[in-house]
Amino acid sequence: MARHIVIIGNGVAGITAARFVRKLSDHRITVVSSETDHFYARTALMYIYMGHMRYRETKPYEDHFWTQNNIDLVRGYATQIDTQSKVVRIADGVDIAYDALLLATGSKSNLFGWPGQDLPGVQGLYGMQDLALMERNTRGIRRGVVVGGGLIGIEMAEMLHARHIPVTFLVREKSYMDYLFPEEESALINDEIVAHGIDLRLGTELKSIIGPDRASAIETNLGDRIDCQFVGLTAGVHPNTDIARASGIHANKGILVNEFFETNVPDVYAAGDCAEFNADGIGSRRVEQLWYTGRAHGKTVAYTLCGHRTPYRRGVFFNSAKFFTVEYQTYGDVPARPGPHIQSQLFRQGRSLLRVNSDHRTGQVLGFNTMGLRLRQDQCEAWIRSRTPVDQVLKSLAKARFDSEFQSSRVYRRAAATSD
């Protein structure tokens, strides 16, 4: 029996769910978004600003894809859910009745109550509207300040740099992302940031933004005053729970769900950035806000929406990023501060870095970090899953290479040599 499945949010979680519901069923599907008409890759926002791509190029599917696959797209802002009569209210629009509802509302930028954070010229960066605002806010400016040393922060610094706008980058930590990266990885990225001419201020926090009519300077906790015409606030994101809270759906940090992405209300589900697992051990953490987890959530919940209740299981952890020109990949377990039972072997060659972690007692491989190198996910995952002895891994590392042809293999040879 065809049901009407309504999805709020056309990001990767919502759209992956819609695609898989369509692959698995003939249910009627409606996707509601207030952000854009069509699904685009949020990961590519920076490239639009930098001129590598236009919005059009960031859309993973051609516009006719949605009508061809009978997925209805509604442009509108969902304000509230009447969970009794199972209706979604759309601001200035027609109510939509659902049989099953998926909330995939994503995240919002964190604001920490800084003085002046509401001034014109001050903003976060999460969605297309933010990008449009940034375009307007950075016209003809002489300096931008980016606050918050995370992924979006460094992206924003790179964006401004690409437009020849001088950047001051405030990072609270002593070294870039040292809560996630071991010392060497973090130092390598510090160097990369500085090499691009960014004014990197480590161990520095924002105290206030100075107006009066729009941002004209900031003051740091160290008492420095930096003149600027733009302030990017990129101190992380938090789940967007507005509609859940307005509709009696339980939320903590995020919208609370179990391993089936079920909320406390029957037939209402939540997945992606906006969801928070109600127990440990379901995902790698309670709130997962990666592109990859959004995609995995969306796919898993699609099975449940189609009547095959399927629990979420995160496989061997992986993630990747690019810091200016340095690519980063990670597989398995590579903590910033390894405990005493972890042996961490580091191999370096110029701007490339390879870290292999293993269990000190058993010698089994636990995880990999790379900077400036590319490894094959299948191979790394197979080694980690099968608890391969690290000596064996180091010897056969060439099997896991995914670098372009003819790239230097010195770092791999060095790793192989240590295992002899």
Partner 1 sequence: MEHHASLQLTTPGSRYSARQRTGLALIGVGVLALLVMLVGDGSLNPALTMGVAMVGFLVGSGLLFADLLKQAPGVNNNGVWFSGATARGMAGWIMAIVFTGFYIILYWTPSNLEQLVRGTDALSAALRGRPSDQWFLYGLFYTLAILVMGARMLIKYRDNKYQILRTISVMFFQLGLAFILPSLLLLLNEPEFYFSYFWPLKYDYLWPSTFSSLTQGPGLGIFLLFWTAVMTFVATPVLTFFYGKRWYCSWVCGCGGLAETAGDPFRHLSDKSTKAWKVERWMVHSVLVFVIVTTLALWINSWTGGGLLGGLSNEFSRLYGFFIGLIFAGVIGVGFYPIMGSRVWCRFGCPMAAILGLLQKYLSRFRITTNGGQCISCGNCSTYCEMGIDVRWYAQRGQNIVRASCVGCGMCATVCPRGVLRLENGSMKARYNGPVLIHHDDVSVQLDEAWQRERPLMPPAQEDIPILTDKDLGISPV
Q: Cβ of residue 25: shortest distance to partner 1, in angstroms? A: 10
Q: Cβ of residue 94: shortest distance to partner 1, in angstroms? A: 27
In terms of CB distance, is 79 or 310 closer to partner 1?
Answer: 310
In terms of CB distance, is 286 or 401 closer to partner 1?
Answer: 401
Task: Sort 28 into a burial class: Cβ within 10 Å, 0-12 / 13-18 / 19+.
Answer: middle
In terms of CB distance, is 24 or 342 closer to partner 1?
Answer: 24
Q: Cβ of residue 222: shortest distance to partner 1, in angstroms? A: 29
Which residues of the chain form contacts with partner 1 (CB under 8 A)? Answer: 12, 19-20, 22-24, 41, 43-44, 47, 50-54, 57-60, 62, 64-65, 68-69, 139-140, 162-164, 195-196, 291-292, 295-296, 299-300, 303, 308, 310-311, 313-315, 318, 320-322, 324-325, 327, 329, 374-378, 381, 402-408
Q: Cβ of residue 313: shortest distance to partner 1, in angstroms? A: 5
Q: Cβ of residue 86: shortest distance to partner 1, in angstroms? A: 26
Residue 271 has which token pair? Answer: 């997945």
In terms of CB distance, is 81 or 257 closer to partner 1?
Answer: 257
Residue 352 has which token pair? Answer: 């490339």
Q: Cβ of residue 284: shortest distance to partner 1, in angstroms? A: 12
What is the rounded distance in angstroms from the CA atom of residue 382 to the CA atom of residue 380?
Answer: 5
DSSP labels, 194-253: HHTT-EEEET--EEEEE-SSS--EEEETTS-EEE-SEEEE-S-EEE--HHHHTTT--BSS
In terms of CB distance, is 296 or 411 closer to partner 1?
Answer: 296
DSSP labels, 263-296: -SSTTEEE-GGGEEESSTTSSSSSS--SHHHHHH
In terms of CB distance, is 69 or 252 closer to partner 1?
Answer: 69
Residue 120: count of CB within 10 angstroms of its CB = 13
What is the rounded distance in angstroms from the CA atom of residue 75 to the CA atom of residue 269?
Answer: 20
In terms of CB distance, is 178 or 403 closer to partner 1?
Answer: 403
**Tokens 């069509």 appear where?**
38
Q: Cβ of residue 164: shortest distance to partner 1, in angstroms? A: 6
Residue 53: count of CB within 10 angstroms of its CB = 17
Q: In sequence order, which ranges of 285-409 are alpha helices (DSSP H)?
A: 291-305, 377-385, 390-395
DSSP letter (8 states) at residue 113? -
Q: Cβ of residue 229: shortest distance to partner 1, in angstroms? A: 11
CA 292 from centroid of its chain's CA atoms: 8
Q: Residue 71 pairs with which residues in a beta bridge?
A: 29
In terms of CB distance, is 253 or 308 closer to partner 1?
Answer: 308
What is the rounded distance in angstroms from the CA atom of residue 38 to the CA atom of residue 186?
Answer: 37
